Structure 1
Amino acid sequence: MNLPTSAEITAFHDRCLADPAWPPTEIRMRETDEPVWQWIGENHRNNCLLWAEEDLARRTTVSAEDIAVNKRHIDKFNQARNDATERVDEQLLIGLGLVDTNSARTDSPISNIKAGSRLNSETAGSMVDRLSIMSLKIRAMRQQTERTDVDEAHRESCRGKLARLNEQRGDLASCYDQLLDDARLGRAHFKVYRQFKMYNDPRLNPALVAEAKK
C-alpha cells in the first residue's frame, strides 16, 4: 500500500474545497485508489458538512426548532467524521504492517509492533482529521481577508491569523510524516482508539434508555 503523505492529503483537502460541487452526497473513488483514500474523503466530507451546521447553529433570529435540527445534524456528521477517522487509522496500520488485517476492525486487534517501539498518544488518523479541519479554517480565514464590507484593520488582522493557521497546518503535516516514517522503521506506533460515543447510542445513553422505558 502506498501510504498518503501529508502533502497529498492537504492538496486533496484544498482541491475538494475549491470544487463548487463539494461536498458530494457520497465519495466515489477510482479503482486505482488505495482504500485509505475512501475514508480520508469521508472524513473530509463530514467535517465540511459539520462546519456548515456549526455556523447555522449559532443563529440568533431563528426558532428553537431550527436550532434543534442543526444540533441533530451536528451529532450525525460528528459521529460519521469520527467513524471515518477510525477507518483511516485501520487502513494506515494495515499499510504499515502494524496490525493483522483480519482483526483490524475488532476491539482486540492483533498487533505486529516491534519491541521498543514508542506509543504515540495521537493517532495518524486523528492528524488527518485535524488537517481536514485546518483546511476549513484556512479557507474561512482567507475569505475574511477578501471581504469588501469591512475595514482594512479587519482584513489585516485576518491576514495575520491566516499566516498562523498555515504555519500550524505545516507543523501538523510534518508531525504526521514523521510519525509514519518512525512507524515504518519500528521506532513508533499508534493504535485505533474507539470513540464509543455513548450519547449517540440508545442502548448506552441514560436519557434515551429512560425515554424508551416510558
Structure 2
Amino acid sequence: MIALPSSAEVIAAQDAALASPPVPVEATDVQGWVAVNHFHNRSLWAQEDLARRTQAPDAEIVANKRAIDRHNQARNDAIERIDEFLLSALGLVDSATLASALPRSTVPPGARLNSETAGSMLDRISILGLKIAAMREQTQRQDVDDAHRQACAERLERLKQQRSDLGRCYDELLADARAGRAYFKVYRQFKMYNDPRLNPALVAESK
C-alpha cells in the first residue's frame, strides 16, 4: 500500500518551513509538490502585503502585482500536480490520461464525487498555516494594547481549529477514496489572464 501524506505530516512540514526564509523547491513526488504549493503561497502572501502599500512608487506596485500573477499561476499548477500524484497512488485515474486536460477517472461504482479536490484542501491548509503564523505574531506585539493582543489570540484559536477541522476532512477523504467510497478529480484551472492567447487585453496588445 502506497503511503499518502497525512494532514499531520503536511502541517508539520509546512510549519517547519515557516521557520526559515522561503526558498524555491524542486518537486519529484507529492510531498515535493505540497512544498512547492506552500512556497508559492508564502510568496503570494508577501507580495499581497507589499501591493497594498500606499506610499510606494507605482512601478513597485506594478511589479508586486505581476509577481502575484506568477505565484498564483504556479500555486494552482502545484495543486493540479498534487491531485495527479494522489489520484495515481489511489488508482483512481487512468495513468495514460493523467497529463491531459480531462484525465479519465477509474472509480468503482457507487463512489461519491467530492466537490473539492485533495490538492485544493492542502492548498487551504497551507494558507491557514500562514494565517496562523501571522496572527500569532500579532499576539506577541509590544506596540499595541492588550485588547488588540486578546482579539488576535481569540482569532488565532479559531484559525487553529479551522485548520484542524480541514485536516480531518482531508484525511477522511483519502481514507474514503482508498476504500472506494469517494473520489475526486483533477480540475484544471485554465487561468486565462496569464495566457496571451486567451486574455482579451493581451490579445489586443499583440495586434
TM-score by length of 2: 0.97
Following TM superposition, by how much is the alpha carbon of 1:108 offset from its aligned partner in structure 2, in angstroms?
2.7
Q: Conserved in 1, the CA contact under 8 Å of 2:26 and 2:36?
A: no
Mapped partners of 2:87, 2:113: distance in 1: 13
In the alignment, the residues of structure 1 paired with residue 103 and residue 130 of structure 2 have an alpha-carbon distance, to the nearest angstrom, of 33
- Alignment-derived partner of residue 142 in structure 2: 148
Tell me, yes or no, if structure 1 residue 112 matches structure 2 residue 106: yes
Secondary structure at 1:137 match in 2: helix
For 1:73, what is the secondary structure of its paired residue?
helix
2:201 to 175, 197, 207: 207
Aligned to 2:172: 178
Alignment root-mean-square deviation, CA? 1.1
Could you say what secondary structure the match of 2:141 adopts? coil
Task: State the identity as a percent.
Answer: 60
Distance 2:29 2:97 in 1: 16
Corresponding residue pairs, total: 206
1:199 counterpart SS class: coil
Counterpart selection for 2:155 from 158, 161, 168: 161
What is the alpha-carbon distance in structure 1 between the residues aligned to residue 186 and residue 177 of structure 2? 14
Q: What residue is the counterpart of 1:53 in the other structure?
A: 47
| Number of the residue aligned with 1:23 | 22
Give unmatched runs, 5+ long, in structure 1. none
**1:40 pairs with 2:34:** yes
Q: How big is the shift at 1:28?
A: 4.7
Name the structure 1 match of 2:15. Answer: 14
Output the TM-score relative to the length of structure 1: 0.94
* Match runs of 1:83-122 below 5 Å: 83-122=77-116
**Moved runs in structure 1, 4+ residues, more than 6 A?**
none
The match for 1:125 is 119
The answer as to 2:186 corresponding to 1:192 is yes
Task: Answer whether contact 2:116 2:184 (CA < 8 A) is retained.
Answer: yes
C-alpha distance in 1, partners of 2:60/2:26?
31
Question: Which residue in the other structure is 2:6 paired with?
Answer: 5
Q: CA deviation at 1:107?
A: 1.4
Secondary structure class of the residue paired with 2:193: helix
- SS, match of residue 186 in structure 2: coil
